[in-house]
Amino acid sequence: MRTDDLVSMLAAGAGAVRPKQAARRHASAVIWGLLGAALLMAMLLGPRPDLATAVLLPMFWIKLAFVAGIAAASLFAALHLSRPGVRLTWVPGALAAPVLAMWLLAAIALVRADAAERAVLFFGDTWDVCPFLITMLSVPAFIAAMWAMKGLAPTRLRLAGAAAGLLAGALGALVYCLHCPEMGAPFIAFWYLLGMLIPAAAGALLGPRLLRW
């Protein structure tokens, strides 16, 4: 087929294209991912029993804000990485900001605490399950975010996979906040982050294979 013929073929009946498809696809991935995580949480874990009183504590909201900050930053990253030729200017900063803020809070909490309390602040009661439960809750969002990315045109597949995975991890963690009893800043700064990084690593690993076009 000659190139001119290909041009005619592609143009024939091409029709109009709905604008803002990257935003639409990622938005529906976020919604489905959250719904899926909420469903899994309700079926397998249930909300923390003291949720009604926990919402009165500032730490509950700090935790939520940290996770929501990472979700927003990774959504921002995914939006940028899903379209060819878009610069990532603000993406690293947006991702680093919530992490650095949380680490700062964690450092302050650790410095202020007695030596004996520090291990409790860091390990809490659930350090051994927290990252895995976050990863488990992020599975529906992982599928949704990869689907959204797959339907767009990422050119840096590893990074795009990592961004989609991190978004999934943050959405899983957001729902996990409603179950998790931990309120220590050092715990959140480490184990939550680890839980979100596991799906991100999975995304980086699978990206080059799943996202090619």
Partner 1 sequence: MQRIEETGRLNAGEDKLRDLLTRGLAGDEGAYRAFLQELSAHLRAFLRKRLARLPDEVEDLVQESLLAVHNQRHTYDAGQPLTAWIHAIAKYKLVDLLRRRSKRELLTDPLEDEFSLASAADTEVADARRDLGKLLAQLPDRQRLPIIHMKLEGLSVAEAAKRTGMSEAAVKVGVHRGLKALAAIIRGGA
Residues that bind partner 1 (CB under 8 A): 1-22, 82-87, 152-153, 155, 212-213
Distance between CA atoms of residues 74 and 44, nearest Å: 26
> Which lies closer to partner 1 via its Cβ, residue 97 or residue 153?
153
> Which lies closer to partner 1 via its Cβ, residue 12 or residue 56?
12
Instruction: Report residue 142 as tokens.
Output: 């992982």
Per the document, the length of the chain is 213
Q: How far is the CB of 19 from partner 1 (least distance, A)?
A: 7
Q: How far is the CB of 82 from partner 1 (least distance, A)?
A: 7
Q: How far is the CB of 178 from partner 1 (least distance, A)?
A: 35
Q: For residue 160, give the nearest of 75, 47, 72 by alpha carbon.
A: 75
Cβ atoms of 112 and 55 closer than 8 Å = no
Q: How far is the CB of 182 from partner 1 (least distance, A)?
A: 40
Angle formed by the axes of helices 139-150 and 130-137, to 10°? 50
Instruction: Report residue 210 as tokens.
Output: 């799943």
Instruction: Report residue 114 as tokens.
Output: 């007695």
> Which lies closer to partner 1 via its Cβ, residue 86 or residue 104?
86
Q: How far is the CB of 63 from partner 1 (least distance, A)?
A: 34
> Which lies closer to partner 1 via its Cβ, residue 19 or residue 49?
19
> Which lies closer to partner 1 via its Cβ, residue 162 or residue 180?
162
Cβ atoms of 47 and 153 closer than 8 Å = no
Distance between CA atoms of residues 209 and 159, nearest Å: 12
